Amino acid sequence: MRRANARDFQAVSRHHTDIDARDGIWHFVFLTLDRGKDVKQIPWILTLLFATSTPLLAYKFLWQGEAVPASDGRKAILLTPGERDLVLAEMRGFLQSVQEIVTAVQQQKVEAAAVAARRVGAAAQKGVPARLIGKLPGEFKMLGFDTHRQFDQLALDAEQLGDPDHTLEQLAALMGSCVGCHTAFRIDPVTEP
Ligand code: HEC
What are the sequence ranges of the domains in the chain? Answer: 6-64, 68-189
Nearest residue (CA) to ligand 1, atom 21: 91
pLDDT, tens only, 137-148: 999 999 999 999
Give the ligand 1 atom nearest the CA of 147.
5
Nearest residue (CA) to ligand 1, atom 36: 178
Give the ligand 1 atom nearest the CA of 143.
1
pLDDT, tens only, 58-112: 776 667 788 999 999 999 999 999 999 999 999 999 999 999 999 999 999 999 9
Is residue 78 helix, strand or coil? strand
Q: What is the mean pLDDT of residues 154-176?
A: 98
**C-beta 151 within 6 A of ligand 1:** no
CB within 8 A of 14, min separation 6: which ones? none
> Looking at the domain covering 68-189, what would its CATH class be?
mainly alpha
Give the ligand 1 atom nearest the CA of 188.
17
Q: Contacts from 82-85 at CB under 8 Å and sequence distance 24+?
A: 83/129, 83/131, 83/132, 83/135, 84/187, 84/189
